[in-house]
Amino acid sequence: MVAGAFWASRSSRRFRGQSRGGQATPDSFRLPAETGVRQAALDSGVRDALHQAAEAEKCDFAGLGPHSFRRANITWRQQVGGSAIEASKIAGHSDLEMTGEYTFVTAERQNELTRRIQHQLAEASKQVETQRRVPP
């Protein structure tokens, strides 16, 4: 169901009525999703539409949601050389811990970073050896 169709639904009118009448509770705006988890009403509609589109493209997976794109963007920024601080600022996070929650480090990236560290250590070791050989 697309968001526009959702707002036209009976449930939506009921929720808006509860809100205006002061009868709303935090759960008034949550609907049970097919998974049985209660999610925000709009989020549920967006997730359904996203899963339908992903299924049509044969790229659907468990956990796919609107926030998947946010997580991917933060991860990609760091994979192409952006710092965690830059990603944090762009994402609007107040601290790096939150950005860390969004960042997925692939095995390839871990290996690349390990190789870079090994290379730096090897170069430093060569410099130390060179300095030891040079007489004072």
Q: What is the pLDDT along the chain (136 residues), one digit of tens a residue?
A: 333 333 334 444 554 555 556 665 655 555 555 555 555 556 677 788 888 888 898 888 888 888 888 888 888 888 888 888 998 998 888 888 988 888 888 888 889 889 999 999 999 999 888 888 777 6
By CB neighbour count within 10 A (0-12 exposed, 13-18 middle, 19+ buried), where does 79 fall? middle
d(Cα 42, Cα 9) in Å, to the nearest integer? Answer: 12
Q: At what angle do helices 84-91 and 66-79 cross, to 10 degrees?
A: 150
Contacts of 54 (CB under 8 A, 6+ apart): 60, 61, 64
* Residue (of 50, 100, 79, 47) closest to 91 by Cα position: 100
